[in-house]
Structure 1
Amino acid sequence: MDAAILPTRLVFTDVDETLINCRSMFDFLDFYMSGRHGAAGTARARQVRESLLLQASRGIPREETNRTYFRAWAGERAEDVARWGERWFAERSGSGSFYLACTREALVRHQAGGAAIVLVSGSFLAPLDPIARDVRADHVLCTRPEVRDGELTGRILGAPMVGSGKAAAVRSTMARYPYLDPADCYGYGDHVSDLPMLSAVGHPVVVGPNPDLLARLPTGHRL
């Protein structure tokens, strides 16, 4: 969006399984590790997945599993990860079913009405940047891996973009547009972890069959 043109509203959308039909963090992990490191990388990615599933089964909060995920990237060169992110997007988006059509079409309609699009995700810039360019998003709110001397350290900067972290980032972004009323803004999500973000806007939209999320959003709509 042209900086000289003020948006008519903000539209916040989760990415994984809300805008795209896969979980970018895990799909990209598999893609990168196997492509960059071969069989050893494939095994490494599988171990990370198994560890995260075990944590989830034990009720470990998503904020902590998010941190565990990024520890798996320690030692990788940031420029390599970014380059492979472009390759991942080029391959996956060429399938024709990469985007969830209902959400993609809704964002296009919002943009036609002058809205600014904001991607909000627990994932990170390597897979999200090409998506943001393709959908012409105005902002990307995501988890930020720490980089030192060109390498990912395995730590993150600040809090994971999960749960309450999403809500805080949404409110901070809305504060940059003081003339806009949060009641006029939209949010799209597919999981209960998106509830804090969706509750921060006047028009929450649930993508997909999630009755629990809908039950917690009496004013929400299903897409």
Structure 2
Amino acid sequence: MSELPTSAAFFDVDGTLTRRTTLFGFLRHDMASRGLPHQAYLAQRERLHAMTLAGAPRRATNRAYFRLLAGRSAGELAEAGRRWYAEERAADGAGFFRPEALAALAAHRAAGRLVVLVSGSFAPCLDPLAAELGADAVLCTAPRIVRGRYTGEVEHPMLDARKALAAAGFAARRGLDLTDCHAYGDHHSDLPLLRLVGHPVVVGEDEVLHRTAAEHGWPLLRPTRDTPTALSTTALPSATTTHGIGEAQ
């Protein structure tokens, strides 16, 4: 009988595993598939970007994004996510992912650690990605769904300290030793998650993260020009999607 994993590797997604922002890629694809002009997508993207420039907290822009989905069927958006991901991967190939992050993820899987994605994105974007990567669980933002439709409301976006709270809860439920766990992030808002574990790793060029890494001796995951680790095309077990900070039922 194989031993149960005692540690996990927690990965932020946008900017850490991927070079793209999944929410915007999905929105662009979804609006186009519904016959809306590209200018309509650009207008929404610029509106959200303007909120950020004006100093709105990330949770506010995250909520504003999900209000765009109010009234949509959960099944429809899940299918839209699968179509978006398939088309994105077919069009962009290896450029979609950071090869150095893929290599790290593969090494953790080979070492027998659980691989957990922690993201402010949502299940329609993340579930197909998690399946391809062979992730064991997804901790993500859970927009409210009533009678099978999105209301446009979000109680707790999976951002900032919420990522650490969700990861800690996951570790407690699985009996994992956080001092033996790893975490990867590319933005200073990932600091609570990185500080939670015994082995934090900084990805990308965020100045705050680089200063913190220098102060604490954290490693940096450097870009590589090597060919990315090939992803399996065989069917993988579905990851467990965890919404908000509790296990999905």
What TM-score comes out, normalization by structure 1 length?
Answer: 0.92
Question: Which residue number corresponds to residue 182 of structure 1?
Answer: 178
Deviation at 1:14, TM superposition (A): 0.4
CA contact (8 A) 1:89 1:131 kept: yes
Matched residue of 2:208: which SS? helix
Matched residue of 2:36: which SS? helix
Tell me the matched-pair count.
217
Deviations 1:148-203 (A, max 9, x none): 232211112x310000111111111111133x321111001111111111111111
Q: 1:173 aligns with which of 170, 175, 186?
A: 170
Matched residue of 2:174: which SS? coil
- Within-5 A mapping of 1:1-223: 5-39=3-37, 42-94=38-90, 95-156=93-154, 158-178=155-175, 180-217=176-213, 218-223=216-221
Match for 2:161: what amino acid? Answer: S
Residues 104/146 of structure 1: CA separation in 2 closer, same or farther (3 Å cut): same
Deviation at 1:20, TM superposition (A): 1.1
CA contact (8 A) 1:204 1:219 kept: no
- Residues in 1 aligned to 2:95 and 2:164: alpha-carbon distance in whole angstroms: 29
Runs of 4+ in 1 over 4 A off after TM superposition: none
- Residues in 1 aligned to 2:75 and 2:108: alpha-carbon distance in whole angstroms: 33
Matched residue of 1:6: which SS? coil
Deviation at 1:216, TM superposition (A): 2.0
Question: Which residue number corresponds to residue 226 of structure 2?
Answer: none
Match for 1:83: what amino acid? Answer: E
- Residues in 1 aligned to 2:101 and 2:6: alpha-carbon distance in whole angstroms: 19
Residues 145/5 of structure 1: CA separation in 2 closer, same or farther (3 Å cut): farther
- Residues in 1 aligned to 2:125 and 2:107: alpha-carbon distance in whole angstroms: 24
Gaps of 5+ in 2: 222-249
What TM-score comes out, normalization by structure 2 length?
Answer: 0.83
Deviation at 1:5, TM superposition (A): 4.5
CA contact (8 A) 2:6 2:177 kept: no
Superposition RMSD in Å? 1.6
Gaps of 5+ in 1: none
Q: What percentage of residue pairs aligned between the two structures are identical?
A: 42
Deviation at 1:43, TM superposition (A): 4.0
